Amino acid sequence: MWWSWSKLGIAYLDRGVVAVLRSRGGAAKVMTCADGGEFEALRAELSEGPASAWRLLLGPSKVEWAAVDRVPNVWRRDEREAATKAMLVTHGGSMRLASGGEIHVADPAYGSRWVAYALPTPVAEAANALLDQHGIRVRSVESMADAVATSLEHSSGQPHLIAMICAHDVAWIVKSRAAVLECGVWKGVADEESAIADCGRLQLGYGIPLELRLVLRLGLAIPESDDLENRRGDWRWRDPMLSGLCRLVERPST
């Protein structure tokens, strides 16, 4: 049976934190747990609640992402992944992704750089186990950073910067409506002051003005008054449900 995104709840998992946002609405339920116990905590939460189907979104401590150069005349998903794995073996750590585990490659648009996602083997195994768990209907396993970055954009279509402060790290992306320019993760800088300072340096490199920068913190239960979806401005959600996992940290006046 096919399920639309509007019918799927969101399960968010990062190091030491699990959040659940049910499709019928309300604030996200956020739980902390021991490092390494996230999948077990999530399994227990999804098993106890009312029956539902879920998107599982993994934070940057569980799944890395990076923009990689596209290979000409390669279009199919399996071919993109094979080409990216070959580049990882050739270039090693310079691409900031491990060649082990599962590698998935998205092609945002013609002319865009590809976006590669790397799940270490233990994370891939734990996530895939949830897909087969009796009574828990996990329909997809995705990168949280990618889900937010794909859903949220500036109405001008010009290159813009989105930074997502997670449990321990900051995932960021520079993109336009048509293409991803670069993306990555700043490890261990999950305090807001450091994240904003790093964003400033990144903006200078890409020539992005202040009004085209957005800094969010992910995985918190958000009061409605702080919800980005309830504010006027030039930022738009394609999937408003994701806004329930995001708190606006800093938004320059336009």
Locate 60 and state its tokens.
Answer: 């940057």
Q: Which of 33, 252, 216, 15 is nearest to 123 (CA)?
A: 15
The pLDDT of residue 205 is 93
CATH classification (class only), 5-59+121-144: alpha beta
Question: Between residues 4 and 145, which one has the greater pLDDT?
Answer: 145
The pLDDT of residue 140 is 85
Cα distance between residue 171 and residue 185, in whole Å: 4
Q: Are the CB atoms for 39 and 126 separated by under 8 Å?
A: yes
Angle between helices 38-48 and 121-131 (to 10 degrees): 10
Q: What is the pLDDT of residues 31-54, one digit of tens each?
A: 888 889 999 999 988 887 666 788
Band of residue 14 on the pLDDT scale cut at 50, 70, 90 = very high
Q: Which residue has the tokens 């539902």?
A: 52
Average pLDDT over residues 97-115: 82
Which letter does DSSP use for residue 114 in this model?
A: E
The pLDDT of residue 52 is 76
Average pLDDT over residues 69-73: 88
Look up the pTM and report it: 0.85
- Name the residue type at position 36: G
Locate 129 and state its tokens.
Answer: 């186990």
Q: What is the pLDDT of residues 234-243, one digit of tens each?
A: 888 888 788 7
Q: Are the CB atoms for 160 and 174 separated by under 8 Å?
A: yes
Residue 143 has pLDDT above 80, yes or no: yes
Cα distance between residue 58 and residue 205, in whole Å: 28
Which letter does DSSP use for residue 229 in this model?
A: G
Band of residue 22 on the pLDDT scale cut at 50, 70, 90 = confident
CATH classification (class only), 145-250: alpha beta
Locate 109 and state its tokens.
Answer: 């648009």
